[in-house]
Each structure stands twice: as C-alpha cells, then as structure tokens.
Amino acid sequence: MSSEDAAASALAAVAATPLAQIQLTAFSESNIEMWLSEHEHVWDLNHVTKASSKFTLVRSKLPRTIMDVFGQEIGRIGSGPDPYTELCDFLIKNFGRNKWHSYFQLLSLPIAVENVRPLQVLGQLKSLMPFGASDNNEIFMAMFLMRLPESTREAVGAANHATVTAMCAHAENMYSFRGGYASMTAAAAVQQRSKSPAKTDKKKSEKQGKTRQIRSSNVSFFDFKNPKNGSCKFHNYYGAGSEKCNSPCNVTGN
C-alpha cells in the first residue's frame, strides 16, 4: 500500500461513524428497492465504505421471518468477497419487484399531480425505479418534466440540465420563489386577464350607439298612416330612437 493510500485509509477510519451509532430505517418489504436506495445516503453521510460494514448494518434490520428461512444462505453471503452487493441482489431477487413490474408502475403513474412540490414528485418517481437503474436518462427526465406545471416545465426544460437532480433543484427554486403552485396559478390567471381586452359596459355602448332610426321612405311624417300595431306614430315612423311619444304606445308603455 502506498503512503497516499495509507493516509486516505487512516483519514476514512477517523471520519467514519461507529457502526453502533448508525441508524437505518425499518425494513420495508413492500418496496425493498427504495429501502436499499435510502442507505446510499447513510453510507456517504457516515463515511461507511467497507462492504462488510454495510452488510452487517443491513442484516441487522432484516426481520426474524426472513432470517428464520434464509439465515443460512445470508450467512454464506456474509463470508463472500462483496457481501453487501450480494445481499442486496439476494433481497431484491426474493422480495423485490422485477424490473418490468417497476417500469409498468412508473409508466402508470398519473401525470396530473396537483399542488405537489417538485422534490416530492421526483421522490415518487424514483421510488418506482428498478433498483440500480439510472435516473439520468432522457425518458425519466421527460417523465419528471411532464408532471410540472406548464410555466415551470418550460423554464426548466429550456435550461437544458444534464441531470434530473439539477432539473429538480431548478423547479424547487421556482416553487419557493413564487410561493407554491397555488400562487403561480393565480399569477398566471391575473396575467391572462390583463391581456384580454376590457369589456365595454353594455348599457353605455347601447346608449352611445343609439341613433334615431328614420324610415327610408319618401312619405312625410304628416302623410304617414300609422299602422294599428300598438305603437304610436312617432315610434312607427322614427323607430325606437324617437324622442317623442304619443299615448297609447307599447314601446314606452305610455
């Protein structure tokens, strides 16, 4: 071992947290892939690098029902060259979902996700990913984008991020800055209304647009014979815009 490797090992040993102080979440048989994925953060946070240490911690969280049936095989895995990886593979094979089932669930996830912040959306998508599958591919990134509000989706998509984590961070910043999706939706509605032309008051328009309707006839008012239709001579001759009215008249109720 070189002096540099020895120094790195010594530094890791000093920084590593004692195994007895490291706490893992309770075993989750319903989604064992997600349960195993959560450990990666624990390893990084506590500087756990040895496969044997990871194996010991995960094995300690396995329920009695599993150990009673598979204890001997798990013990054999513990003596192998890479016990942690072998244990993960063993648990997924026996208790996890197969990759196609995971992908089917992922594709069936509803697109309409209302009032859910981007970090939660990403967490839900990741929980359905097959164990070990990369989320930094364009299909997965597109699935995340589709579940964001339109205004956020356009901004995040145009930024051309290389990873879904960067996309989520961008969307989270927009979410926090605008006070959540409810505020964003309200702001968009106000902006849309401001672009629409103001409606002219109907009564005002009618009043301004009303003109005297004079009959297009060569007959003078005095020679005009008023028909018996219930309206006075003024309204029959000049129309609804007549300023005069004689009783009886059904136009004005006079």
* Three-state secondary structure of 131-147: CCCCCCCHHHHHHHHHC
Those residues with Cβ within 8 angstroms of residue 47's Cβ, 6 or more apart along the chain or in another chain: 12, 15, 16, 17
Tokens representing 142 are 């597109």
Instruction: Look up tokens 């196609």; give the residue.
Output: 100
Domain boundaries of the chain, sorted by first residue: 12-96, 100-195, 202-254
Whether residue 167 contacts residue 158, with contact meaning beta carbons closer than 8 Å, is answered with no
Distance, CA of 224 to CA of 242 (rounded, Å): 15
At residue 209, does pLDDT exceed 70? no
Distance, CA of 189 to CA of 131 (rounded, Å): 41
H/E stretch holding 82 = none
Those residues with Cβ within 8 angstroms of residue 74's Cβ, 6 or more apart along the chain or in another chain: 59, 62, 67, 87, 90
Those residues with Cβ within 8 angstroms of residue 37's Cβ, 6 or more apart along the chain or in another chain: 126, 131
How does pLDDT run across 143-191, given as a tens digit for each residue?
A: 999 999 888 899 999 999 999 999 999 999 998 887 765 555 544 454 5
Whether residue 130 contacts residue 41, with contact meaning beta carbons closer than 8 Å, is answered with no
**Mean pLDDT, to the nearest integer, of 55-70?**
92
- What does R_g of the chain's alpha carbons equal in angstroms? 38
pLDDT at 171: 93
Those residues with Cβ within 8 angstroms of residue 54's Cβ, 6 or more apart along the chain or in another chain: 39, 43, 48, 83, 84
**Mean pLDDT, to the nearest integer, of 201-213?**
44
Provide the CA 104 distance to its chain's centre, in angstroms: 20
Identity of the amino acid at 1: M
pLDDT at 213: 42
How does pLDDT run across 43-58, given as a tens digit for each residue?
A: 988 999 999 999 999 9
Phi/psi-derived region of residue 115, left when phi > 0, alpha when psi is between -120 and 50, beta in every other case:
left
pTM over 0.85: no
**Mean pLDDT, to the nearest integer, of 6-20?**
59
